[in-house]
Amino acid sequence: MPLKADNLKLTEVETSQGPVLVPYEVRRRKGSRYIKLSIGLRNHAVLSVPWLCPMAEAMAFLRSQGPWLEENFKQNPSRCSLTQYLEANPRLYGLGHVLRLSLELTRARPFYIYDTLRGEVEMRLRADEDREVGTVALVRAFAAEVVEKRTRELAAEHGLKIGRVSVRDQSSRWGSCSSSRTISLNWRLVLLRPNLQDHVILHELAHLTEMNHSPRFWALLRSYDPRTDQHNSQLNPAASRLMPLGRA
Ligand SMILES: [Zn+2]
């Protein structure tokens, strides 16, 4: 079981090892009907609770989940830490470039800068902030900038008009395209090497013309990316590796 992080509450949960103290956080959700349990970035229990659900009911649910918590706390650190992943793979991808990543600490405001010609991105995390929370926030800010830029570049290259580009934290999808021409893309695209990242963006751009996965859609996508079949087959294995990273 994990150590207690600051500002998390603790509750006693019965497990196969006897009662243990579990750090937890409660998030009230409008529009949700069921209590849901997940593991947060600090390896703590995150209890998502319907807006009007009594607290006692939520806590009773949490205390009944000992076996699930035991199982998931065990797997969690290696499964979800973006920090550990970037330590082993210190690279981000943006604007068609491979960028070597250096992560340092600062006592001032956190920031990132990148230089595609030198192939470098530098990030400074606040020294007094939780490492994983700070890393996820900076990588997401970087992704919001470069993924939108790249999407607009590729759209212009193919003479396509696009609406809003939104870079989000989808749980399993790389991207989607709405009928209002808004393109939504997963921030984890900056963890995908340039040709795969471009392939995902081109896939969504092709949906501006073909809102389906018909043979016409695939023919159009192949005209944008001649290696479509190869790239498409590489996306699922990449997703199972990258989608769990940095999840709140
Ligand atoms: Zn699609």
Same structural domain, 49 and 90: no
* Residue 109 identity: R
Q: Could you tell me the distance, in angstroms and rounded to a whole number, from the CA of residue 38 to the centre of ligand 1?
A: 28
- Domain range holding 225? 83-242
Verify that 115 and 73 share a domain, yes or no: no
User: What's the 161 CA to ligand 1 centre distance in angstroms?
Assistant: 18
Q: Is the same domain home to 234 and 208?
A: yes
CA of 229 to the centre of ligand 1 (A): 13
**What's the token pair of residue 88?**
């082993």
54 and 158 housed in the same domain: no
DSSP letters for the chain: -PPPPTT-EEEEEEETTEEEEEEEEEEEETT--S-EEEE-TTS-EEEEEETT--HHHHHHHHHTTHHHHHHHHHHHHHHH-HHHHHHHS-EEEETTEEEEEEEEEESS--EEEEETTTTEEEEEEETTS-HHHHHHHHHHHHHHHHHHHHHHHHHHHTT-----EEEE--SS-SEEE-TTS-EEEEGGGGGS-HHHHHHHHHHHHHTTT-SS-SHHHHHHHHHH-TTHHHHHHHHHHHHHHHTTTT--
Query: pTM for the complete prediction?
Result: 0.70
* CA–centroid distance, residue 52 to ligand 1 (Å): 37
Last residue of a domain, one of 34, 56, 79: 79
Q: What's the 122 CA to ligand 1 centre distance in angstroms?
A: 33
Q: Decide if 177 is inside a domain.
A: yes
Residue ending a domain, among 45, 79, 113, is 79
pLDDT digit string (tens) for the chain, length 248 residues:
444 445 678 788 888 877 777 888 899 988 888 999 998 876 788 999 999 999 999 999 999 999 888 888 766 544 468 998 898 899 999 999 999 999 999 999 999 999 999 999 999 999 999 999 999 999 999 999 999 999 999 999 999 999 999 999 998 899 999 989 999 999 999 999 999 999 999 999 999 999 999 999 999 999 999 999 999 999 988 887 898 898 86
Residue 224 located in a structural domain: yes
Residues 59, 144: one domain? no
Please check whether residues 69 and 109 belong to one and the same domain.
no
Number of domains in the chain: 2
| Distance between Cα 231 and ligand 1 center (Å) | 14
Residue 45 lies in a domain: yes
Q: How far is the CA of 140 from the centre of ligand 1 (A)?
A: 23
Q: How many A from CA of 104 to the centre of ligand 1?
A: 38
* Residues 92, 59 share a domain: no
CB-based contact 65:14 (threshold 8 Å)? no
Last residue within a domain, chosen from 49, 79, 109: 79
Residues 36 and 104 in one domain: no
Q: How far is the centre of ligand 1, averaged over its atoms, from the C-alpha of 123 (Å)?
A: 33
